[in-house]
Amino acid sequence: MNKSKLIQDLDAIEVDNQDMERRCNSQLLGRFAKVSLVRHCESGEVSAAKIIRRWRCGKDTLASIMQEIDMLEIGHLNPHIVKMTHYYVSDKEVVLLLENCLHGDLYHYVHYSEELLPENIVIEILRQLLKAVSFIHSKSIVHLDIKPENILLRLPLPQCDIALCDFGLAKHLRTNEVIRDLAGTPDYAAPEVLNYDPIHLTTDIWSVGVVVYYLLTGESPFWNESKEHTFLNVCQLNISYPDHLFQDISMEAIAFMKRLIQKNPRDRPSAVDCFNDPWLSSTTFTDALNTDSSG
C-alpha cells in the first residue's frame, strides 16, 4: 500500500504562489483551514495542501483532523478516493498534502459549462463515486459531505477519473453506537442530519442522489437563498422533476434519483445495491460512453 509519510520539517515544502495565482487555487475551508498549492523543494512535486491552524480550532476539531488523516490512509486502497502523500503535525498547524487534481471539481465544471453533461458521462462518474462510497461503507465510514465540490477531476471531461475528497466530517459508525451530527452542506444533507436524528451509511446515498440531480440539470433540487427554506425543502422532501429540466433525461435516470432521495434512510439502497439499478447497468449508455471515448 502506498501509505503517506509524516513530514518532519515543514521547510521541505513551499507555497507555489505563481501557480496558485495562475490557477486561483487558494481557498478558505471554513474558519480553521485553507487549501493552497505547494511545491516540494527537493522533488518539485506539486500538491494541494490543506492547512489547519491549531490555534483556531478546539480539541474536537483537532481530533476530527487526525481522524481524517486515518481515513485518508484507509482511502489509499481505493482508486477513487483522493490520495494523501504526506502530512505534517506541529504545535501550530496540521498540513495534509493531497494529490493535485488538475481539472477542478464537478461543481465548478457544471456551473461554468455551456452544456450539461450527457447521461453516459454522468453514469460513469456515478459508478466511480459509488466505488469510493461502497469502499468506505465497507469500513463502516460515512462521509457526510458528498457534494459536487468534493468530487475532483483528475482528467478533463469527457474523460472520467474522479476522486472523492474532504473527509473532515466523516464518522466511523460502530456497532450499537448512535451518532447524531449536524454536518455537511444543507442542500445536500439528508433529512436525518438536519433533524438531528441518527445517521446511517445510507445518509451518504441521499447525497449521491442529489449530486446526480445537479449533474444532469445544473440545479440543486433543495437549494434556496434562505437557509431555513432549504432546511424545509429537505425535511419535507419538496422536490420536483419539471419538464423544462427533464425533457431530455431518461425515465430510468429519474427513477434512479427517486430511489436514492427517500426520506426514510432505511428505504434507500446501499451503495452496492445501486450498481444493480437498470440505469447504471444500461448497455445503451455504456455503449455511448465507449463510442465517445474512441472518437
The residue whose grid cell reads 466523516 is: 170
Give, to the nearest 10 degrees, the angle between helix 203-217 and helix 119-138.
160
Q: Which of 70, 30, 95 is nearest to 172 (CA)?
A: 70
Nearby residues of 283 by Cβ (< 8 Å), 6 or more positions away: none
Instruction: Extract the C-alpha cell encoding 29.
Output: 475551508
70 catalytic? Reply is no
Cα-based torsion angle of the residue sequence 97, 98, 101, 107 in order, rounded to the nearest 10 degrees: -110
Cα-based torsion angle of the residue sequence 20, 25, 31, 32 in order, rounded to the nearest 10 degrees: -60
Determine which one of 145, 166, 187, 277 is catalytic.
Answer: 145
CA atoms of 219 and 149, how far apart (whole Å) = 14
CB-count exposure of residue 11 (10 Å: 0-12, 13-18, 19+): exposed
Handedness of CA 187, 192, 197, 200 (dihedral sign): negative
Q: Which residues are catalytic?
A: 145
